[in-house]
Amino acid sequence: MYKNNLHKQIVELLQQTPINISKKDSSFFSRFIANATAIEALFKQLYAQNSQYSFYWKELLQSIIHAYTQRPLTLLERDEQKEQPTQWFLSNELVGMSLYVDRFCGNINNLENKLPYFKELGVNVLHLMPIFESPLHESDGGYAVSNFRKIDNRFGTLQDLQKLQNSMQQQQMYLMLDIVLNHTSHQHEWAIKAKKGEKKYQDFYYMFPNRQIPDLFDASMPEIFPESAPGNFTYVTDCNQWVMTVFHQYQWDLNYKNPEVFIAMLENIFFYANLGVDILRIDAPAFIWKEIGTTCQNLPQAHTLLQLIKCCVEVATPGMALLGEAIVAPKKIMQYFGTGLYEAHECDFAYNATQMALQWDALATQDVRVMLAAQEDLVKKPFGTSWITYTRCHDDIGLGYEDNSIRKAGYNPYEHRRYLKNYYSGNTDNSTARGALFSVNPKTQDARISGTLASLCGLEFALAQQNENFIEMAIAKIMMMQAQSFFLGGLPMLFYGDEVGYTNDYSYLNDPTKSYDNRWMHRPIIDWNKNDRKNIPGTIENTIFTQTQKLLQIRKNLPILSDYSNITWLTPHNIHVAGFMRSVGLERIYALFNYSNNAAYLTWYAFKEHGDAPKKLYNYINQQVYTVGADYEYFILPPYGMALLAPWLDVPLN
């Protein structure tokens, strides 16, 4: 809806700037006018009651204008290049890797020298785990930020980052960074001023003089780290107040009911955008709004805030896509893509954490039915948005998918999860997985799972046994898990170290600043002698690296694997085989994954359910052509094997 008064207000503000709305900045101006009504409506929903509403509204408009005027020319050009009929980030040509700069190669400067390594593997999106200033011993892996605009000395400087970003941009690579939106470190200048008693900054957080309100909140708020950081509030002796700390005690939750907090953090978002960030990972967005009597997660106002951020970014820095790191149940995750008028106008990306966890579920049970039951919700993702698909990341694996999916597969949810926890913590006889339980809640027995991809797939165990068959089996599992996330639809995000099979690193136990958090077991320190073995045929590193490389190359050659929300799951013909079809028009391709340690038989009928039955199929994995047989005959997948099959025409069509 167009509003004349908003148009006038914006024009007046722009007249005080060098912006030329009729010439070079005309598309910025069009975007501004097109989004103005939405921005105002969303801002009003959150802050209309604030006594200084008009003041903050003007501040917001000015922040948007300022961000645009600060945008470097190269990024303005890149914004234009990214404008395509379909979103740039849906492309099958993108592949990412998440890494800790210091643990990967020391610092940002060294990372520039590693760009050929990523290229060789086929990675062109780099997610640098938090690099902004964070107290060394209270950092939660960098997710406790004490200065949003200063790179931590450990990693380098802003200039180093800019240099890296420039080289990456020249080499058609993309940069992803985090904005830790929900909280700051207790060492952030706002927190320091709050500790000193400055009311203005105490209002940046949820601070209370006694336990009365904290108790009301605590009554309905779950605990995130029940073992290492129980409760949701911490007593601050300096100012004699209780402050909300949902994560660790040194991470203070920001109070977004205060418009000043919102605007200050939006300006940090713009600062990152203007550094050349292509994908901004919004950390923990499910938590950003709190209300007494609720879980304080996934509240409607959290979505309003995200939609508001999206609209502002669309106006000032449109080339930056937003990834919402909401690790929540399937029905809830859909809402992060936006609903109603805002469908596909909230987060551009979300993690497909449900699919990731369900792949681990299927691997432990050799049964894909729970995975299939959950897809009903996941396939509803709107066109124009995408998933981050992955098997491992720096965090634990949560088993938070719906009980109902487990029941539909015929299992009891409690027993089923107990089995999975035992399986991955190596607590059952039939398990080769070597992981550990993370954040066990003594009250509910809920727990998540830590461990590297390789250790959870049995490589650590196989190496200890020096058993070649087990090693081969573990590698087959690793590749099958990865391949499913490469072909599913979305941007695959590898986790550093997995490309050469790092097993768990237990040295974190000797470091008192890390020993309380077993997620460090799967955050390796890269040993480049080990990684260089990728060049020596016959080594485990070489096998995993080259197979990963090959799978990524296959993905890059097949535009049908772009995320056009074009997935159809095959009806289950065999409980061990997960299968889906990706299609565009009449073109299609089938991906199949065998989660069993035996060969799996799939009736040829599986390929005849959708559209014309193909006569022959070409398998991109082993380059073989198969003749589609009768319904009572079978296509056979090896143990933990996979296939990527496209209809094959002997005679090219005229």
User: Could you give the residue numbers annotated as active site?
Assistant: 283, 325
Please give the helix or strand (H or E) that residue 151 lies within, else none.
Answer: strand 147-151
Distance from C-alpha of 630 to C-alpha of 632, rounded to nearest angstrom: 5
Closest-approach residue to ligand GLC (CB): 143
Shortest spacing between CB 284 and ligand GLC, in angstroms: 4
Interface with ligand GLC, residue 638, by CB under 6 A:
no
Please, which of residues 589-618 interact with ligand GLC by CB under 6 A?
Answer: none
Residue-wise burial string across 111-132, b where 16 or more C-beta atoms lie within 10 A, e elsewhere: bbebbebbeebbbbbbbbbbbb
> 149-188: which residues touch ligand GLC (CB under 6 A)?
180
Residues contacting 276, CB < 8 A, separation 6+: 72, 74, 75, 78, 162, 165, 166, 169, 175
| Under 8 Å between Cβ of 554 and 622 | no
Report d(CA 342, CA 323) in Å as an integer.
Answer: 16
Minimum CB distance to ligand GLC smaller for 247 or for 640: 247
CB atoms within 10 A of CB 409: 20
Of 102, 133, 283, 367, the one binding ligand GLC (CB under 6 A) is 283
Question: Please, which residue, 278 or 395, has the CB nearer to ligand GLC?
Answer: 395
Minimum CB separation of residue 205 from ligand GLC in Å reads 15
Question: Of 307, 316, 363, which is closest to residue 340 (Cα–Cα)?
Answer: 307
The separation between CA 311 and the C-alpha centre of its own chain, rounded to angstroms, equals: 21
| Closest CB 240 distance from ligand GLC, rounded Å | 26
User: What is the amino acid identity at position 529?
Assistant: N
Collapsing DSSP to helix, strand or coil, 77 comes out as: helix
Q: How far is the CB of 494 from ligand GLC (least distance, A)?
A: 16
Chain positions 199 to 258 lying near ligand GLC, rule: CB under 6 A, are 247
> Is 302 one of the binding residues for ligand GLC (CB under 6 A)?
no
Q: How far is the CB of 387 from ligand GLC (least distance, A)?
A: 16
Closer residue to ligand GLC (CB): 208 or 247:
247
For the bound state, the minimum distance from the C-beta of residue 439 to ligand GLC, rounded and expressed in Å, comes to: 10
Q: Is 605 exposed, middle or buried (0-12, 13-18, 19+ CB in 10 A)?
A: middle
Q: Please give the residues from 131 up to 150 whose contact with ligand GLC meets the rule CB under 6 A.
A: 140-141, 143
CA-based angle 393:399:401, to the nearest 5? Answer: 110
| Rg, C-alpha atoms of the chain | 25
> Which 548-587 residues touch ligand GLC, going by CB under 6 A?
none
What is the contact mask toward ligand GLC in residues 329 to 348, using x (rule: CB under 6 A)? Answer: --------------------
Q: Which is nearer to ligand GLC, 14 or 296 (CB)?
A: 296
CB of 377 to ligand GLC, least distance (A): 21
Nearest to ligand GLC of 325, 499 (CB atom):
325
Smallest distance, ligand GLC to C-beta of residue 79, A: 28
Give me the DSSP letters along 161-219: HHHHHHHHHHTT-EEEEEEE-SEEETTSHHHHHHHTT-HHHHTTB-EESSSHHHHHHHH
Which residue type does 62 have? Q
The residue (of 523 and 588) whose beta carbon lies closer to ligand GLC is: 523
Question: Residues in the chain, how many?
Answer: 654
- Closest separation in Å from C-beta 303 to ligand GLC: 18
Q: What residues contact residue 573 under an 8 Å CB cut-off, 6+ apart? A: 579, 602, 603, 605, 606
d(CA 515, CA 330): 32
Site size with ligand GLC, rule: CB under 6 A: 10
Q: How many CB atoms within 10 Å of residue 224?
A: 19
Which of 21/521 has CB closer to ligand GLC? 521
How far CA 182 is from CA of 10, 51, 143, 265, in Å, comes to 30, 24, 10, 10
Q: Give the residue with the Cβ less far from ligand GLC, 225 or 607.
A: 225
The residue within the footprint of ligand GLC, chosen from 102, 377, 395, 498 (CB under 6 A), is 395
Say how far apart CA 555 and CA 411 lie, in whole Å: 35
Nearer to ligand GLC, 284 or 479 (CB): 284
**Residue 504 identity:** N
CB of 186 to ligand GLC, least distance (A): 13
Q: Is 284 in the site for ligand GLC (CB under 6 A)?
A: yes
Nearer to ligand GLC, 152 or 283 (CB): 283
Alpha-carbon distance 480 to 107, whole Å?
32
Which chain residues interact with ligand GLC by CB under 6 A?
140-141, 143, 180, 247, 283-284, 325, 394-395
